[in-house]
Structure 1
Amino acid sequence: FIQVLAGSRQVGKSTIIRQFFKNIDIPHSSESADGTQITTSWIEQLWNTARTRVQSSGEFILCIDEVQKIPNWSETVKKLWDEDTRNGTNIKLALCGSSRLLLEKGLTESLAGRFELIHVPHWSFKEMQEAFGVSLEQYIYFGGYPGAADFTSDEERWKSYIRESIIEASVAKDILMLTQITKPALLRQLFDIGSYYSSQILSYNKMLGQLTDAGNTTTLAHYLTLLNQAGLLCGLQKYSGSLLREKSSSPKFQVYNNALMTTVSGTTFETCRNTPDMWGRFVESAVGAHLVNGERTGGYTTSYWRNANDEVDFVLSRKEAVCAIEVKSGRRKTNRGMDSFKKLYPNAKIYAVSAQPASATLGLEEFLGLRPEELL
């Protein structure tokens, strides 16, 4: 099968490939299509070189990064792959991409039954801690981009890296370059507002009053979908047990990586840590990011619940299994949301996550080390 690594920018896809190649003796080649005006003839050139080399080595591994940026790439790969399959040519193929939508579109349209999809999520707290010695507070504020871990001591440099190498590259190369966008400035504004208000509920109508040339709610919902597919920002829907009602609810913004929230917030680590309400929002966002990053492998959906003044921070659901999660971040003194939710959904499991753990709660560090599906 063709091995496909899909994940947003700077989550370590290329690092995985490099580490894999270091540990094998099989001849290989790794090339990137992250440039301009590359066509399918470039794929054929790479493939023909691999076919030449496989004659002497018996097998060969070809890796193509950002393959989704080449127009009609999947048809060319299908033709070459099927030729080698018929002829018994032992070329193993790995594809990487940061635009999940276009990558999966090409796979399902032309390569059905020929690939295995490996989702590469953002780095977890445990991974950042083991690789870079990141503390819990550092992870909450700086998030989990491995490429930026070495210069968190210089916040301005760190923010510049996140802004230029991740945010702008993702928006410009993975969304605007590959998708028809009529209002690119609006897309960027939506990203800024959504990241700033991560883990908060904001209605589309309220957003229309804050955005320049916003158009209508349909445009905003579409742009939020594109930001989600780029692995930057998503909008959690209200849990109701009814798909129709969930789709029509106000979104609860959630970044996939707290580094994005930090970069647009304009704050500093010291100021954030010493401002309880602000720090509480960052804690809640870190919990939400951990949940949404686990959805693909865990097979669950993340949402929220609210009824009048009652609210549950996060709801996980998978088939008939449901669990509610309250984050005790210090922002609220009391909340009857869990009791109200339990009355409506008596079979739901309930959990509390706290940065200051007690016997009845999960500690934040403990929670960030769990696979969320274990809670179901």
Structure 2
Amino acid sequence: MPTVSYQQINLGFQTVGQQRCSLMDNRGSECMILVIDEIQKITNWGEAVKKEWDADSFNSRNIKVLLLGSSRVMLVKGLSESLAGRFEEIRMPHWSFREMKESFGFSLEQYLFFGGYPGAATLINDEERYRQYIQSAIIESTINKDILMDTPIGKPALLRQTFELGSAYSGELLSLNKMLGSLQNAGNSVTLAGYINLLNECELLCAIQKFSIDRARRRASIPKLQVYNNALKMVYNQLDFENSLLNRAIWGRIFESGIGAYLVSQAFVNRFEVFYWRERDNEVDFILRKNGSVIAIEVKSNAQKKTAGLEKFKEMFKPKAAFIVGDGGISAEDFLTMGLKKLF
């Protein structure tokens, strides 16, 4: 296969622009849809698209442009720097339980453990190969191509350590200071916060803040680490699928992380915020907020039907709804297949 330079790609982009204009003019078409895949591979693609877009607007050409790319960080950078006010971001979330069940026959337990990466679905019967796939094809590929390629990182090894530790503790509260004590050459909490923010932009790992009316208190709270796909947590799990199911303590953490992964993955699409709440010994696993409406969700892998934290939160904040996800409330399968918009 011949090698194609970036200069040739850019020239090809300009040629496509000229051809589509000629095609519309010659055929008298009223509208055209132009789809460009892997747009981030074009040097200064944002400026090129802006130039063509403005030319089409000036000449009243009705062209719908769909830009696709595998590197979200590079896509967002090109959009924000060159196309302000000219685009709508459409984000594709991680595969849901419904999609994995319909496409690959996943059970609820398999989805919570192995996550929602379709490329790894056929490998779950060989867990060593499955973990290697997630590690190399998902984690390393995303960190190397989405972050390190385009963002100056002073300590790449620390970035990877932050991700590994955060993924292993997904669904749990972990202060940045405690993370500093667990990492080598960690620097300071500002560095870790910056790395977690980069991982969040790539939809790998995020830090959920404590729910509070006071924004300052929310920012100062201990974060609850959460992966966007539970497969990322399972790579660092010490037990295999069968033994994890038998260990109630470990499965409880997997269960909560799996529900949390679904919520943070769907948050952008459904336009809601995700928090947790804790006051002394009272805690609620997830708080959803949208347009002033608040939903409180407690996750239980056992049949417990009431929790003191949920009752206390209801008393203090009067949420629109408050319920348990698990055997003691809405089943996890029903929750993962319901439309989250219905909650609000």
User: Does TM, scored on the shorter chain, surpass 0.5?
Assistant: yes
Is residue 158 from structure 1 mapped to residue 125 from structure 2 by the alignment? no
Map of 1:146 onto structure 2:
118
Cα 1:286/1:37, change in 2 over 3 Å = farther
User: Is 2:73–2:147's contact at 8 Å kept on the other side of the alignment?
Assistant: no
Cα 1:251/1:37, change in 2 over 3 Å = farther
Answer 1 or 2: which has greater strand percent: 1
User: Is 2:245–2:251's contact at 8 Å kept on the other side of the alignment?
Assistant: yes
- The runs of 5 or more residues in structure 1 that have no matched partner are 1-34
User: Is 1:315–1:324's contact at 8 Å kept on the other side of the alignment?
Assistant: yes
User: Is 2:285–2:298's contact at 8 Å kept on the other side of the alignment?
Assistant: yes
CA distance in 2, matches of 1:371, 1:247: 30
Map of 1:94 onto structure 2:
66
Cα 1:90/1:372, change in 2 over 3 Å = closer
Give the deviation of 1:236 after TM superposition. Answer: 0.2
Cα 1:228/1:36, change in 2 over 3 Å = farther
CA distance in 1, matches of 2:42, 2:121: 31
What is the identity, as a one-letter code, of the residue corresponding to 1:173? K
Instruction: Select 1:227's aligned residue among 174, 199, 204.
Output: 199
SS in 1 for 2:203: coil
Is residue 367 from structure 1 mapped to residue 335 from structure 2 by the alignment? yes
Give runs of aligned pairs for residues 132-211 of structure 1, distance below 5 A.
132-211=104-183
Aligned residues: 337
CA distance in 2, matches of 1:90, 1:343: 54
1:55-98 CA distance string (max 9 Å, x none): 46847654333433544221111112323444466765321234
Map of 2:52 onto structure 1:
80
SS in 1 for 2:90: strand
What is the identity, as a one-letter code, of the residue corresponding to 1:43? N
Map of 1:11 onto structure 2:
none
TM-score, L = length of structure 2 = 0.90
What is the identity, as a one-letter code, of the residue corresponding to 2:193? A
Map of 1:15 onto structure 2:
none
Give runs of aligned pairs for residues 1-376 of structure 1, distance below 5 A.
38=6, 42-49=9-16, 51-52=18-19, 55=22, 58=27, 62-87=34-59, 92-330=64-302, 335-354=307-326, 356=327, 358=328, 361-376=329-344
What is the identity, as a one-letter code, of the residue corresponding to 2:205? L
Identity among equivalent positions (%) equals: 48
TM-score, L = length of structure 1 = 0.83
Map of 1:24 onto structure 2:
none
CA distance in 2, matches of 1:331, 1:277: 14
CA distance in 1, matches of 2:61, 2:281: 64
CA distance in 2, matches of 1:69, 1:337: 49
Cα 1:332/1:197, change in 2 over 3 Å = farther
Give the deviation of 1:246 after TM superposition. Answer: 1.0
Give the deviation of 1:185 after TM superposition. Answer: 0.7
User: Is 2:227–2:261's contact at 8 Å kept on the other side of the alignment?
Assistant: yes
SS in 2 for 1:297: helix
SS in 1 for 2:68: strand
